[in-house]
Structure 1
Amino acid sequence: MPITPMAPAPHPRDGYYTMNNPYQANGPKGFTEFKYLEDTHDLFVRLDFPGVKKESVITLLQPSKKAVTVTGDAPKESKNDASHRKYGTSIGLLCDCCEISNNIQSFVEDGVVRLILSKKKIYLHAPTFCSFGGARMPTDDAPANIICGYNPAVADGNPYVNLGAHLRGLIPKGRRGTDPADPAFTGPVILPHPSVLEGPMMPYEAKQLSKGGLYLRVDMPGVPSERFMVAVDGDGVVTIMGRAPATMHDTSGRTYVAKVANVPRGYDGGRIKLVPKHGVVRVTIPPN
């Protein structure tokens, strides 16, 4: 009897808790998080790049000093992965009175890139508070491209992608960061990752193996390798769980719960192989 995958299913009334990952059960929503640090006025940025290797991440301050571009590579770690993934995005200033300082701090861990950006005034009579924004990979460093926040080629006309990119791309006036409980990210569809430039844009994939086994790739950014676990219930439902702790200036931690497959009753869960790496867990379920 072949092992059958279980596709993610939204709650019939509320939809997914957050449309960026159907398995996230709590914590800040969205692919990114922006937060102003009250004591320094620096900007803290969290970018989910599941699978990315630390040594591949490049943070580049554009010549205009109005934007920072971040790229990174997530290699194909298993022969059963569809392909590698390449990420790229930008964070830019929405004002004309400041520029981003050269001392960019970058931290990469468990498929998450965290940045601390400082800005300095070049127009001294401007207000104390001004805004950063984020967007899809720009074609140049012109501010209009950086703060757009919506790429029709990525969204493919999906209004949820348009809405999500807009809300995550711009920090509204008067707010000290993005809203971690943003209701716009709760809904019935799964959003493709807007920062994926090459490779799969969805947070999971399944592949039927020879002799009836099953291979799965599940994104759980922020979860350390030792905080994944698997369980098989009495009905044969395989559940993968992961806990991502709050790191640095994250609003909070995140919990993931993924019902990924059906196995025969009495199946020995100890046969299931988990390979966690860089905020991605790869699961091999052999046939009974």
Structure 2
Amino acid sequence: MAMAVPVSARPQSPEGFYAINNQFQTNGPKGFSEIKILANEDMFLRMDLPGVPDEGGLSVYHNRSQETVVVFAKAPKVHTHDSTERRYQTMTGIGCSCCAISSITTHMSDGVFRVILSKTRIDPHRSPCTVLGCSGFREDLRGTDPNDPALTGPVLQPHPLAFPQPTMAYESKQLPNGKLFVRADMLGVPKENFTVSVTNGRVKVTGQAPAVSHDSSGRFYSGDVAMLSTPVDIPSRRIKTIAKNGVIRLLIPPF
């Protein structure tokens, strides 16, 4: 009988992981967040919040005295074998006194939060205003530039906004009945864009995330999430899958 076992995270190339925020990402913008100033000077922010539902999992507050936006989000347990629910908290804004936030447009889909901050000039004599990043990110890994070389390397980084654990993109649990439970975050991928296959005993998941709103581009994910003790090919339909909110969960039985 072939048993499924989890896989260890390993770099996809000698240079390291393509994106240190997610070992399954193989192309597209990197980092947990991306900030872009649009042609009309609005600010666009993409923020990865794996597991947060499209509706009912997000709270956004505008602190008018500081011209900041505070974000709270909750990713509930979807499967009984999830370690715990995940929560996220961060703050962003325009970071100056020359402008005021005039409108906030938000969109949550497939585990990705996107917001556009429009602003109104209130002091024309001051120098051009600045934008804040997302509080909680390391200064050298704030993710404002998705092509920053610092976002490629040999070591994976935990999600800086997630609490409690788990903060990593991969989770596995060996069950008493011999099954293996696996959770993999693949942000921005709609549930119909996931593919699961088993070849030579390797359980592989791929996912295509289209570009939405002002994203730099789409993203693609691919990687082995488990291995069987015997190098066999099996129909993927025998693996129970749950794809929801940018997260795919697999329940892999012995074969």
For Structure 1 versus Structure 2, the TM-score category normalised by the shorter chain is over 0.9
Separation in 1, partners of 2:45, 2:87:
19
Aligned to 1:146: none
**Aligned 8 A contact 2:35 2:133 in 1:** no
**What does residue 129 of structure 2 align with?**
130
Q: After superposing the two structures, state which structure 1 stretch, 44-53 or 208-217, moved more.
A: 208-217
Q: Specify which of 228, 238, 242 is matched with residue 271 of structure 1.
A: 238
Match of 1:163 among 140, 165, 190: 140
More helix by share: 1
After superposition, the CA RMSD in angstroms is 1.5
Distance 2:185 2:233 in 1: 28
Alignment equivalent of 1:255, drawn from 213, 220, 223: 220
CA distance in 1, matches of 2:249, 2:13: 28
Is 2:196 aligned against 1:243? no
1:178-189 → structure 2 map (5 Å cutoff): 178-189=144-155
Q: How does 1:165-244 map to 2 (within 5 A)?
A: 165=142, 168=143, 178-233=144-199, 235-244=200-209
Distance 1:244 1:266 in 2: 27
Residue type at the aligned position of 2:133? G
Identity percentage of aligned residues: 43
- Residues 112-151 of structure 1: CA distance to partner in whole angstroms, max 9, x if unpaired? 1110101222221123x432112336xxxxxxxxxxx54x
Q: Please give the alpha-carbon distance, in whole angstroms, between the structure 1 residues aligned to 2:47 and 2:201.
A: 35
1:85 corresponds in structure 2 to: 86
* Structure ranking higher in strand proportion: 2
Normalising by structure 2, report the TM-score: 0.93
Equivalent AA in structure 2 for residue 123 of structure 1 = D
Q: Secondary structure at the match of 2:192?
A: helix
Point out the more displaced range, 13-22 or 115-124: 115-124
CA–CA distance in structure 2, aligned partners of residues 279 and 111 of structure 1: 5
Matches for 1:3-152 after TM superposition, within 5 Å: 3-11=4-12, 13-38=14-39, 40-53=40-53, 54-101=55-102, 103-127=103-127, 129-136=128-135, 149-150=137-138
What per-residue deviation string (whole Å, max 9, x for no partner) do you get for residues 8-40 of structure 1?
2114521000100010000000000111110x2
Q: Match for residue 175 of structure 1?
A: none
Gaps of 5+ in 2: none
Report the secondary structure of 2:141's partner residue.
Answer: helix
TM-score, L = length of structure 1: 0.83
| Structure 1: 5+ residue stretches without partners | 138-148, 151-161, 169-177
Q: Secondary structure at the match of 1:130?
A: coil
Structure 1 residue 65, shift from structure 2 partner: 4.0
The question of whether the paired residues in 1 share the 8 Å contact of 2:194 and 2:208 is answered with yes
SS at match of 1:51: coil
CA contact (8 A) 2:196 2:204 kept: yes
**Structure 1 position 282 matched with structure 2 position 249:** yes
- Taking the aligned partners of 1:189 and 1:244, their CA distance within structure 2 comes to 23
Q: Any conservation in 2 of the 1:65–1:99 contact (CA below 8 Å)? A: no
SS across alignment from 2:182 = strand
Cα separation, 2, equivalents of 1:79 and 1:57: 22
> What is the aligned length?
251
Aligned residue type for 1:134? G
Which consecutive segments of 4 or more residues in structure 1 shift more than 3 A? none
